[in-house]
């Protein structure tokens, strides 16, 4: 009897015999296994015997009512399940070269990222890759990352802020996003070239949902200065908040790229001079796990599209792949 190793296994045993071994381990009876694999019981018995000869050890405990895998047989079965699972993945990936990329992507993202990036990106991506189905979930920034870590989503689209831990993710930076202060026209701050968080603590602030990354950053910045946000009004979305600023009821911090041009007739945009005002918009997948072809295609599309858009924009910031 020989010792089992990769060389003897690949030279003397074919994949069908290995599949038959798994079927016998599941059915615990040669006749039922042979029926499943469409082979004569005598031929199945001979193949299992030949496999045991190559392994150099008994893989089954023959009993009057069937065959039960021995401990070495259980070990072999466990590895073979992984082998055939990988072969299935390989087959699907190779098929994509002839059939076009197909699959399903579950994306978790913040509302702001959906509005400023994902809505148009998904529409165009779906036209280019009609065989890929996309599921979109809206979550708070921290919850976006946690959804991927917990396996509830394939891809996280999030802001890489201080309150988000990215250690469990492989991260691809898509673009930078600047936060600015917006004030109603005629407001004294509208005459300034920049403001700081200390300046804003003296103003009535229009707040949005407290769990958003924007509000988390603002609260942390205020606490670091020993102050507190003066939120006289709190609403759920930046769109509603802007309407209150336009009415002269306060000021707010807002993503620069989400400010509609039409609103500039009633609002003034002022640079926010804080290190956290420049945010990195990132895509992330669970670290250490293979990335499906469909997800790879979407990440490549988003990064390429934002690179193209950024190269022609005024801020000139270049996204990077981390």
**What pLDDT, on a 0 to 100 scale, did the predictor assign at position 4?**
63
Any domain includes 321: no
Any domain includes 59: yes
| CB-based contact 108:152 (threshold 8 Å) | yes
**What pLDDT, on a 0 to 100 scale, did the predictor assign at position 151?**
92
Q: Are 154 and 42 contained in the same domain?
A: no
**What pLDDT, on a 0 to 100 scale, did the predictor assign at position 305?**
61
Any domain includes 1: no
Q: Are 52 and 195 contained in the same domain?
A: no
**What pLDDT, on a 0 to 100 scale, did the predictor assign at position 317?**
34
Any domain includes 87: yes
CATH of the domain at 28: 1.10.10.10
Domain boundary among 99, 121, 146: 99
Q: Are 217 and 290 contained in the same domain?
A: no
CATH of the domain at 246: 3.40.190.10
Question: How many structural domains is the chain composed of?
Answer: 3
* d(C-alpha 136, C-alpha 123), whole Å: 12
Any domain includes 68: yes
Q: Are 181 and 171 contained in the same domain?
A: no
Q: Are 186 and 167 contained in the same domain?
A: no
* d(C-alpha 16, C-alpha 37), whole Å: 9
Residues of the chain with pLDDT under 70: 1-7, 92, 95-100, 305-322
Q: Are 256 and 284 contained in the same domain?
A: no
What is the Cα 60 distance to its own chain's centre?
A: 43
Instruction: Domain of residue 73: give its range.
Output: 6-99
Q: Are 264 and 253 contained in the same domain?
A: yes
b/e map 159-180, b = 16+ CB within 10 Å? bbbeebebeebbbbbbbbbebb
Angle at 212 between CA 209 and CA 217, to 5 degrees: 115
Each residue's pLDDT tens digit, 64-74: 888 999 999 99
Domain boundary among 42, 64, 99: 99
Q: Are 65 and 124 contained in the same domain?
A: no
Instruction: Report which of 182, 127, 132 is spatially closest to residue 305, judged by C-alpha positions.
Output: 127
């Amino acid at each position: 009897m020989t010792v089992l190793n990769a060389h003897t296994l690949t030279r003397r045993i074919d994949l069908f015999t290995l599949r038959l071994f798994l079927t016998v381990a599941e059915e615990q009876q040669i006749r039922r296994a042979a029926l499943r694999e469409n082979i004569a019981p005598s031929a199945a018995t001979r193949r299992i015997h030949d496999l045991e000869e190559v392994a150099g050890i008994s893989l089954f405990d023959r009993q009057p009512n069937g065959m039960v895998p021995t401990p070495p047989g259980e070990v072999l079965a466990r590895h073979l399940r992984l082998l055939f699972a990988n072969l299935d993945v390989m087959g699907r990936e190779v098929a994509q070269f002839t059939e076009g990329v197909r699959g399903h992507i579950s994306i978790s993202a913040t509302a702001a990222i959906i509005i400023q990036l994902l809505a148009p990106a998904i529409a165009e991506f779906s036209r280019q890759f009609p065989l890929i189905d996309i599921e979109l979930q809206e979550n708070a920034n921290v919850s976006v990352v946690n959804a991927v870590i917990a396996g509830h989503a394939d891809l996280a689209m999030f802001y890489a802020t201080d309150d988000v831990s990215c250690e469990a993710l492989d991260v691809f930076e898509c673009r930078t996003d600047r936060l600015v202060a917006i004030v109603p026209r005629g407001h004294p701050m509208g005459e300034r070239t920049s403001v700081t968080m200390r300046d804003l603590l003296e103003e009535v602030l229009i707040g949005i949902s407290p769990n958003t990354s924007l509000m988390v950053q603002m609260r942390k910045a205020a606490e670091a200065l020993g102050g507190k946000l003066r939120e006289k009004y709190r609403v759920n979305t930046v769109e509603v908040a802007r309407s209150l600023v336009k009415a002269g009821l306060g000021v707010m911090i807002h993503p620069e790229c989400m400010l509609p041009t039409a609103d500039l007739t009633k609002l003034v945009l002022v640079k926010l001079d804080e290190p956290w005002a420049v945010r990195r918009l990132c895509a992330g997948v669970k670290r250490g796990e293979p990335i499906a072809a469909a997800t790879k295609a979407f990440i490549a599309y988003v990064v390429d599209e934002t690179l193209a858009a950024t190269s022609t924009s005024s801020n000139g910031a270049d996204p990077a792949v981390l």
